[in-house]
């Protein structure tokens, strides 16, 4: 059983989505099941509606789940498990104040030693605990022996007990800490493999210790995915625009392209361009590199162009708001062919939309239009009367040259503006066969 357990505290990060996609693929490969758990116990940081946004985003990327949980609904179980540990003397009430702990941390720092909780409250008698009216947290006693666990990417990981102190599992407000809630939930929900970012590696021995202390002895597999670096080679921050899945989608990058790229990051795959369904046939978690992967927006855009080319006419037309242009439905195939041609200079749906909007709607207020207005009007008049259905590009060009008596730049610049709303772009000889089936609609939209 696999799980994806995001917190509803902000926009989904590409690292989170990468973990979700890989967990989902692995669950499909071994048919063990997939859980979506929203970890909403940090009420101070939760953002209203983010849980639903997470669900909608996952659906957009083709991820579905067999079980759904809100972590806060498990609070009573977290408290029951904490009480069980206290009653078995495996955990204890700690009355140390924040100020007292901070002073001890500063002392350790001054002495050049790593800080570890010194066990001040661990030896308190039952009566000392009952008679103490100060707020308290619950700490789990530190492990007494080394821990090892298998990581499908990193190999065997080893943790000495002195590197883990008696850590807090329940706060003074009777809410669980991240590690305790996470460990208990994974235990109760029957999770058997945890795939997450390597920044959680240090949490793993604590969570293993929690489950072992509760008497849970079923083995857990792990895979800690290497971090994603930004284009400068530094750890990508959640504040960077590129790290936000929403930002990438708003840029006009297809979900299938983002998924393709994230599964390709630091991975060995038999092909570069693929869908989630195709990845199911060859994805192998063990082939992911141990080294950090660097995010490359140019590579993602190149992948996006390839996926745009693979879209069927209906889907591409919908992405490009075909209906808003008021074109005849029988022109969708010609429209899609034109759009795919423009991927040679447009990498996103937004860029393509802008190119095609320009073809069907000329901006008469632009500086370029004002410069060539007379020539454009002249060419438009000729074009609306020209029968060019049987003309190839040379014939089309020669007819316009003859009838307009324009030459050189005074001909080609206004013609390009008339047809594409831009002075730059693909060669008109290549573009003309694609524009020809749409010419009446182009002229009608622009000049009615």
Can you list the positions of beta strands (E) in 59-200? 67-70, 91-94, 137-140, 147-151, 155-159, 167-170, 193-197
Same domain, 177 and 246: no
What tens digit of pLDDT does each residue of 50-85 get? 999 999 999 999 999 999 999 999 999 999 999 999
Are 300 and 253 a contacting pair, CB within 8 Å?
Answer: yes
- CA dihedral over 254, 275, 54, 60, signed as positive or negative: positive
Task: Name residue, tokens 């530190």.
Answer: 142
CATH at residue 143: 3.40.50.620
Q: What angle do CA 410, 413, 415 make, to 5 degrees?
A: 100
What tens digit of pLDDT does each residue of 196-231 get? 999 999 999 999 999 999 999 999 999 999 999 988
Same domain, 150 and 248: no
Residue 383: CA atoms inside 13 Å, Cβ hemisphere, count?
23
Tokens of 303: 């992948």
Average pLDDT over residues 158-170: 92
Average pLDDT over residues 165-170: 96
Enumerate the β-bridge partners of residue 141.
none
Specify the pLDDT at position 445: 53
Q: Is residue 231 part of a domain?
A: no
Q: Is residue 233 part of a domain?
A: no
Name the domain boundary from 225, 252, 273: 225
Q: Is residue 317 part of a domain?
A: no
Percentage of the chain modeled with pLDDT above 70: 99
Q: Is residue 316 part of a domain?
A: no
Are 71 and 40 a contacting pair, CB within 8 Å?
Answer: yes
Report the alpha-carbon distance of residue 216 to residue 210 in Å, rounded: 9
Same domain, 297 and 218: no
Specify the pLDDT at position 40: 93
Q: Give how many domains the chain has, as a whole number.
A: 3
What tens digit of pLDDT does each residue of 7-30 get? 999 899 999 999 999 999 999 999
Same domain, 15 and 160: yes
Same domain, 282 and 217: no
Tokens of 169: 């599992």
Name the domain boundary from 225, 256, 276: 225
- 181, 203, 167: which is closest to 80 by C-alpha? 181
Name the domain boundary from 288, 310, 332: 310
Report the alpha-carbon distance of residue 172 to residue 65 in Å, rounded: 34
Same domain, 115 and 248: no
Same domain, 248 and 219: no
Q: Domain range spanning residue 285?
A: 241-310
Tokens of 326: 């008021």
What tens digit of pLDDT does each residue of 22-57 get? 999 999 999 999 999 999 988 888 899 999 999 999
Are 315 and 182 a contacting pair, CB within 8 Å?
Answer: no
Same domain, 291 and 331: no
Question: Which helix (H) or strand (E) is 178 found in, with range?
Answer: helix 178-188
Same domain, 69 and 203: yes
Specify the pLDDT at position 446: 52
Same domain, 245 and 305: yes
What tens digit of pLDDT does each residue of 348-404 get? 999 999 999 889 887 888 898 899 999 999 999 999 888 888 899 999 999 999 999
Q: Is residue 315 part of a domain?
A: no
Specify the pLDDT at position 387: 86
CATH at residue 423: 1.10.10
Same domain, 276 and 351: no
Q: Is residue 431 part of a domain?
A: yes
Same domain, 152 and 300: no
Q: Is residue 235 part of a domain?
A: no
Can you say whether residue 23 is alpha, beta or left, with left for phi > 0 and alpha for psi between -120 and 50 degrees? alpha
Report the alpha-carbon distance of residue 413 to residue 419 in Å, rounded: 10
CATH at residue 272: 1.10.1160.10
Are 267 and 273 a contacting pair, CB within 8 Å?
Answer: no
Q: Is residue 22 part of a domain?
A: yes
Specify the pLDDT at position 448: 41
């Amino acid at each position: 059983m696999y799980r994806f357990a995001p917190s509803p505290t902000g926009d989904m990060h590409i690292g989170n989505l990468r973990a979700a996609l890989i967990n989902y693929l692995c669950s499909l490969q071994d048919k063990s099941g997939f859980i979506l758990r929203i970890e909403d116990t940090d009420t101070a940081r939760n953002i209203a509606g983010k849980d639903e946004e997470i669900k909608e985003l996952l659906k957009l990327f083709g991820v579905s789940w067999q079980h759904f949980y809100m972590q806060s609904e498990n609070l009573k179980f977290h408290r029951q498990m904490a009480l069980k540990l206290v009653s078995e003397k495996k955990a204890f009430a700690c009355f140390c104040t924040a100020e007292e702990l901070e002073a001890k941390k500063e002392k350790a720092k001054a002495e050049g030693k790593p800080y570890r909780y010194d066990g001040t409250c661990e030896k308190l008698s039952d009566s000392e605990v009952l008679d103490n009216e100060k707020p308290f947290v619950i700490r789990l006693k530190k492990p007494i022996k080394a821990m090892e666990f298998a990581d499908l990417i990193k190999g065997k990981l080893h943790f000495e007990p002195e590197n883990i102190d008696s850590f807090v599992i329940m706060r003074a407000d009777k809410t669980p800490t991240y590690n305790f809630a996470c460990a208990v939930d994974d235990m109760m929900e029957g999770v058997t493999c945890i795939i997450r970012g390597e920044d959680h590696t240090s949490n793993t021995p604590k969570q293993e210790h929690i489950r072992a202390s509760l008497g849970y002895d079923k083995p857990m597999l792990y895979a800690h995915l290497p971090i994603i670096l930004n284009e400068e080679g530094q750890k990508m921050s959640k504040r960077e625009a590129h790290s936000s899945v929403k930002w990438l989608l708003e840029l006009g990058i297809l979900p299938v392209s983002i998924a393709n790229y994230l599964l390709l990051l630091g991975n060995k795959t038999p092909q570069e361009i693929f869908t989630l369904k195709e990845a199911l046939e060859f994805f192998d978690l063990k082939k992911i590199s141990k080294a950090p992967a660097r995010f490359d927006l140019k590579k993602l855009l190149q992948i996006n162009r390839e996926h745009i080319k693979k879209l069927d006419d209906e889907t591409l037309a919908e992405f490009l708001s075909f209906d808003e242009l008021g074109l005849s439905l029988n022109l969708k195939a010609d429209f899609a062919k034109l759009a795919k041609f423009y991927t040679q200079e447009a990498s996103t749906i937004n860029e393509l939309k802008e190119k095609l909007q320009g073809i069907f709607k000329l901006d008469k207020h632009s500086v370029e239009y004002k410069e060539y207005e007379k020539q454009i009007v002249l060419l438009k008049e000729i074009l609306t009367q020209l029968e060019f259905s049987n003309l190839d590009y040379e014939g089309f060009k020669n007819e316009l040259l003859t009838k307009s008596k324009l030459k050189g730049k005074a001909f080609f610049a206004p013609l390009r503006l008339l047809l594409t709303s831009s002075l730059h772009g693909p060669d008109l000889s290549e573009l003309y066969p694609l524009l020809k089936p749409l010419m009446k609609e182009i002229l009608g939209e622009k000049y009615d």
